[in-house]
Amino acid sequence: MDYFTNVTYLTLEGHIELEKYRYVYFLISLAVYLLIICCNSVVISIICANKSLHEPMYIFIAALLCNALCGTTAFYPKLLIDLLSERPAISREACIFHAFWLYTYAAAEFTLLSAMAYDRYVSICKPLQYATLVKMSTVRKLLFICWFWPSCQNGISIILTYQLRLCKYKINRIYCNNYAIVKLSCGDITANNFFGLFSLTVMVFPPVIFVIYSYIRILDVCLKNSKDFRRKALQTCFPHLLLFISFSVTACFEVINSRFERNVPHLFAMIMSVEFIVIPPLLNPVVYGLKMQEIFNRIKKMLQTRKTHVFKE
């Protein structure tokens, strides 16, 4: 046992399930990663380049897409390297850093979605006070909190993990999971468990409760107004609600499965564990690019302009 009390390299055993078709998975993962980068970058560029879109709602959308790019960049490069490796391995320090970025992405996604819910709530329920309550200075403060607070909380969790001595080296995942690293320790992990559950409670429940409260209020206002008002409210709220439900369900599944190790098929658990990293970054630009009329019109205009240039040449 003494031999394993100073483990410096960890192996990601989740890739065993992918080994038979790893080159196929590599090509699919590469294509998805490039698609995510292209789609998210296009929408971000359109929002940044057009002053008419420099409004709180669109700034929050751009921030959400930037967060998606950070999360996927923390996940895909390592995944692509591992798919080409005979036995995926990663240093202890790199694995902990990897977990930090993935957890920060997930926590920031929750906080950004709750900030967007606040924007929609004020816009629909208190339209006359919107300019006062959602000023650009307020937006900047909210964005700072959305990234700073998750970084601090995850930073403390990662510091606690870094101090552990590891006596095992196999992680049954295709990416580094903080709690999976903690379970490799041969020492006392009480502090890690306590702070981990505290962090999950603070990062998940307040945003979920706030979003539910916001939509109850929005629904109440919509029921008291005209059909045209309800249509416009649905047009702006549906993309956000769709993404929030999709992300929340899969993120919660990963948390429950990771901490409480439910008896589910390994392949299904592995697919669900990466869904919150893979699907939202793919879904975000499609949903907002097609459902938000202003962004869709800008994309359509850009494509028509390029088509005209091609025919002229």
The whole-number pLDDT of residue 299 equals 66
Q: Where are the domains of the chain?
A: 2-312
Cα separation, 284 vs 66, in Å, equals 11
Q: CA-based angle 243:244:246, to the nearest 5?
A: 65
The whole-number pLDDT of residue 252 equals 79
The whole-number pLDDT of residue 4 equals 45
The whole-number pLDDT of residue 87 equals 77
CATH architecture of 2-312: Up-down Bundle (1.20)
Cα separation, 8 vs 64, in Å, equals 35
- The two structure tokens encoding residue 163: 């101090």
The structure tokens 């890739």 sit at 15
The whole-number pLDDT of residue 3 equals 42
Tell me the pTM: 0.85
Strands 170-171 and 89-91: unpaired
The string of pLDDT tens digits covering residues 8-55 is 888 888 777 777 788 888 999 999 999 999 989 988 888 888 887 888
Cα separation, 189 vs 161, in Å, equals 9
Residue ranges of the chain with per-residue pLDDT less than 50: 1-4, 310-311
The string of pLDDT tens digits covering residues 33-46 is 999 999 899 888 88
- Please provide the DSSP assignment of the chain as one string: -GGGTT--EEEEGGGGGGGGGHHHHHHHHHHHHHHHHHHHHHHHHHHHH-GGG-SHHHHHHHHHHHHHHHHHHHHHHHHHHHHTSSS-EEEHHHHHHHHHHHHHHHHHHHHHHHHHHHHHHHHHH-GGGHHHHS-HHHHHHHHHHHHHHHHHHHHHHHHHHHTSPBS--EESSSS--HHHHHTTBSS--HHHHHHHHHHHHHHHHHHHHHHHHHHHHHHHHHHTS-HHHHHHHHHHHHHHHHHHHHHHHHHHHHHHHHHH-----HHHHHHHHHHHHHHHHHHHHHHHHHHSHHHHHHHHHHHHHHHHHHHH-
The whole-number pLDDT of residue 305 equals 63
Cα separation, 278 vs 271, in Å, equals 10
User: Residue 70's closest CA among 151, 155, 133, 164?
Assistant: 151
φ, ψ dihedrals at 262, nearest 5°: -65, 150
Q: What is the rounded average pLDDT for all residues in the chain?
A: 83
Contact call for residues 251 and 276 (beta carbons, < 8 A)? yes
The structure tokens 């590891």 sit at 166
Cα separation, 300 vs 296, in Å, equals 6
* Helix 266-291 and helix 227-260, axial crossing angle in degrees, nearest 10: 160
The whole-number pLDDT of residue 304 equals 65
